[in-house]
Amino acid sequence: MVFRLATRDDISSLHNIRTAVKENVLSDPNRITPMDYREKLEVDGKGWLCEVEDEIAGFAIVDMKNKNIWALFVHPTFERKEIGKALFTMMVDWAFEQGIDKLWLTTAANTKASRLYESMDWQKTGLEKKGEVRFECTREMWQKFSLKSY
């Protein structure tokens, strides 16, 4: 496994993973465009990916402008290999190192994703209009989680 920063050259592969997932499925795959990825990777945030034998297995993108986790997806072929957890940790560590005080994200309830965020001490703070669960984490909460994880 190789972890590295995602670039604009990876966008097609990232979108292929995003549309291959079995949970948190996009109702309209065209809703997110290559320009959306590019903006999040180059203007508003930063992204990471994991390659397994030269194939992109998963990716994560943080939106620093909106202070939220914009994407965390692992291709179904590569699930249960700790890839999502590793990407998530890299991304959140980096975001808090940049000085952000709090991050948030939304995800469907009762999914692998929601269980991951709960296991990493993110707090449920309510439901969004479309029924997704909102999670939040402060830098202080993340530091406490990181300390107990080692």
Query: If you write DSSP's letter for every residue of 92-138 in order, what string do you get?
Result: HHHHHHTT-SEEEEEE-TTSHHHHHHHHTTPEEEEE-TTSPEEEEEE
pLDDT of residue 148: 60
pLDDT of residue 99: 94
| One-letter amino acid for residue 138 of the chain | T
CATH 3.30.230.10 fits 2-149, yes or no: no
pLDDT of residue 64: 97
**Does the pTM of the predicted model rise above 0.95?**
no
The C-alpha atoms of residue 31 and residue 144 are separated, in whole angstroms, by 37
Question: How many CA atoms does the CB half-sphere of 142 hold within 13 Å?
Answer: 22
pLDDT of residue 25: 78
pLDDT of residue 149: 60
Residue extents of the structural domains in the chain: 2-149
Token pair recorded at residue 141 = 């909460």
Q: Per-residue pLDDT tens, the chain, 150 aa: give them.
A: 999 999 999 999 999 999 998 887 777 878 899 999 999 999 999 999 999 999 999 999 999 999 999 999 999 999 889 999 999 999 999 999 999 999 999 999 888 889 989 988 999 999 988 889 999 999 999 988 876 664
* CA distances from residue 49 to 118, 123, 128 in whole angstroms, order as listed: 22, 25, 28
